[in-house]
Amino acid sequence: MQASLPPNEDQRLAALLGYDILDTQAEAAFDDLAKLAAYVCGTPIALVSLIDQNRQWFKARVGLDTPETSRDVAFCAHAILEPDVFKVPDALEDQRFVNNPLVTGKPNIRSYFRSYYGVPLVTEAGHALGTLCVLDHFPKDLTEQQLEVLEAIAHQVMSQLELRRSLKALAQTMAEREQTETEYRDLY
């Protein structure tokens, strides 16, 4: 079952694009947070997933080679609609996902999933950009402690996104200032 669009989809997409993160190179800070999530939750797969208009793109990924999937099959597209951790302990028992190609392994999908837990990555304005998620090939129940730590790691992912955006804005401001100073010196 395909997820519906959030009621604020236009604003959500604008917020996502404002981070200028899509299709960027891997960054150690995000990779480390995904590794930590996989370790804490005991799952072979962890992702920092961002949902744009048509796809789910992975800023960081552990245990998965695919850099993106279509939004229409993305578990994360469902997770961004929820305020808390989105839990799917066994996708074959959940009518939303029982026929999903990411669950059935068809068509031509080598790595399939049975369990999914995703924490929405939410901006201060309330826009869910994507998720920090963990997946397993088998049904899995996470403990309350694992869920709490997963939420804490998701907060750190958002902190990294904010830091990255602030550093980029600072670099741009510094470049503009340097340009202005150069122009001023050239006048005198």
Residue 186 pLDDT > 80:
no
Task: Band the pLDDT of 110: cuts 50, 70, 90.
Answer: very low
Name the strand (E) or helix (H) holding 51. Answer: strand 45-51
β-sheet bridge partners, residue 135: 45, 116
16-20, 50-54, 70-74, range with the lowest pLDDT? 70-74
Residue 99 pLDDT > 90:
no
First to last CA, the chain: 67
Domains of the chain, start order: 9-187 (3.30.450.40)
**Residue 48, token pair as written in the block:** 């920092």
pTM: 0.88
Q: Please tell me the predicted confidence (pLDDT) of residue 107.
A: 40
Average pLDDT, the chain: 91
Give the pLDDT confidence of 61-83 residue by residue, as tens digits.
Answer: 999 999 999 999 899 999 999 99
Question: In whole angstroms, what separates CA 139 from the centre of its chain?
Answer: 22
- With contact defined as beta carbons under 8 Å apart, do 160 and 30 qualify? yes
